[in-house]
Amino acid sequence: MKFIDEYRDASTIEIISQKIFEVTTHNWNIMEICGGQTHTIMKYNLESLLPHNVNLIHGPGCPVCVTPLQIIDKAIEIASRKDVIFTSYGDMLRVPGSKNDLLSIKANGSDVRIIYSPIDSVKIAEQNPVKQIVFLAIGFETTAPATAMAVRLAKQKELENYSILCAHVLVPPAIELLLSSPQNKVDGVLAAGHVCTVMGMKEYYQISNRYKVPIVITGFEPYDIMKGIYYAVLQLEQNKHEVENQYSRVVTNEGNTHAQKIMRDVFNVVDRNWRGIGLITNSGLELSESFSKFDAERIFFLENISTVESNMCISGEVLQGISKPIDCPAFGNQCNPEHPLGAPMVSSEGACAAYYQYKVQTANFNRQ
């Protein structure tokens, strides 16, 4: 297949659906890790194309959603200062902090700017030498190389007014945490294809063997996800647990070794809190000592920021696959895109946002 419409062709999806029905004899819980995959599942109502005994569980693969509340509050504190131009990807602006969000303080006069690449923040620093330019660096292994390039560029240009508030997180440790949990009910995993494009497949072999779980690296179109589910169910029915690459048109075993080297040069691996989940060992990135002068937390002395989560929000359970968004009593009522209680309701990859946007819509693919 060459064109995007081929990966969304209803007749092709129906054929894969029939194959899943043919091979399924047991109850299986399949977790898609990435929030982008969750949105595809909901948009095209792929659950309606599966046997009743194949249950999809939504995972923690939404970097906006898992960015710690303390980081959001620190971002708001920094962005509120008059000598700061605060830069961020657009989907972070409405993520609720303890009291407000970045969009609110932007509306009140703070200089908060949406950018599309970390390099843009370096350009802003060059153009505004009397201002402190801060970039909110979030995301998985997919966006970390671009942040690393920006920090390296800032160092090369000897910029004294540039820093990042780093909240990058790593996917494999989160998968391990979920699979090792006493509450775990995941039988198979659909791994995020874009993460594996950068990091390759090597990290997943040990996880698959340790927890006896098939891991299928999967893309983001309906064809990709349905094929990934088919591969996972087929392995489970055959009592196998292997790493399989459905997304071979993009993912290789080694991944992007150049991007990996840049990440190793700029970052150290550290323990990191995930919003709604808690501390995950070796799941985060921070600037190495060679680049520590660009660490916004050191520059702005923000250690004493305290945070308060909404006691109504169950986003932690949603991110861990324990509950679905519709299990939350606040879903669609006290919590909605206009007044979110948690990040999954406003993130473009959030499970709650996907359910709110697509759950009541007519399925794009219907079984005949």
- What is the pLDDT at residue 105? 96
Amino acid code (one letter) for 260: Q
Name the DSSP letter for residue 290.
G
Give the span between the Cα atoms of 177 and 279, in whole angstroms: 10
* Pure H helices in 292-362: 296-300, 315-319, 351-358
Separation CA 21–CA 149 (nearest Å): 46
Q: What's the confidence (pLDDT) of residue 361?
A: 42
CA dihedral 329, 331, 336, 339 (to 10 degrees): 20
Q: Can you give the pLDDT at residue 367?
A: 41
Q: For residue 94, what are the β-bridge partners?
A: none
pLDDT at 71: 93
Q: Domain residue spans in the chain?
A: 1-62+171-255+310-362, 68-168+257-300
What pLDDT is attached to residue 301? 82
Domain 1-62+171-255+310-362 fold is Rossmann fold (3.40.50)
Task: Produce one character per residue of 295-310: b if its CB has 16 or more CB atoms within 10 Å, e if not.
Answer: bbbebbebeebeeeeb
CATH number of the 68-168+257-300 domain: 3.40.50.11740
Does residue 218 contact residue 228 with C-beta atoms inside 8 Å?
yes
pTM of the model: 0.92
Q: Each residue of 229-272: pLDDT tens digit?
A: 999 999 999 999 999 999 999 999 999 999 999 999 999 999 99
pLDDT score at 3 = 84
Residues contacting 33, CB < 8 A, separation 6+ = 59, 60, 61, 171, 175, 189, 190, 191, 192
Helices assigned H by DSSP within the chain: 10-23, 35-43, 63-66, 69-79, 102-107, 118-127, 144-156, 171-180, 193-199, 202-211, 222-237, 257-266, 296-300, 315-319, 351-358
- The residues with which 88 forms a beta bridge, in sequence order, are 114
Among the listed residues 143, 88, 78, 94, the one whose alpha carbon sits nearest the alpha carbon of residue 115: 88
Q: Distance (Å, rounded) from C-alpha 73 to C-alpha 123? A: 25
Which residues, in sequence order, are bridge partners of residue 277? none
pLDDT at position 274: 93
Phi-psi domain of 167 (left: phi exceeds 0; alpha: psi -120 through 50; beta: other):
alpha
pLDDT of residue 365: 43
Same fold, 1-62+171-255+310-362 and 68-168+257-300: yes
Residues ≥6 apart with Cβ < 8 Å to 357: 42, 43
Given this model, what pLDDT does residue 222 score?
Answer: 97
Whether the Cβ atoms of residue 225 and residue 37 lie closer than 8 Å to each other: yes
Could you tell me the CA-to-CA distances from 135 to 64, 75, 82, 347, 349 in Å, in that order?
Answer: 15, 9, 16, 18, 21
What is the CA 320 to chain-centroid distance, rounded? Answer: 13
pLDDT in tens, 92-125: 999 999 889 999 999 999 999 999 999 999 999 9
Q: Kindly list the averaged pLDDT for each block of 10 residues, start to end, along the chain of length 368.
A: 89 97 98 95 96 95 92 95 96 91 96 97 98 97 98 98 97 96 95 97 97 97 98 98 97 97 98 92 97 95 75 90 92 90 91 86 40
Question: 128 is written with which tokens?
Answer: 């505004």
> Which tokens sit at 281?
């060992």
Cβ-based neighbour number of residue 39 at 10 Å: 22
Cα 52 from chain centre = 27
Record the tokens describing residue 319, joined without a space: 């991110």
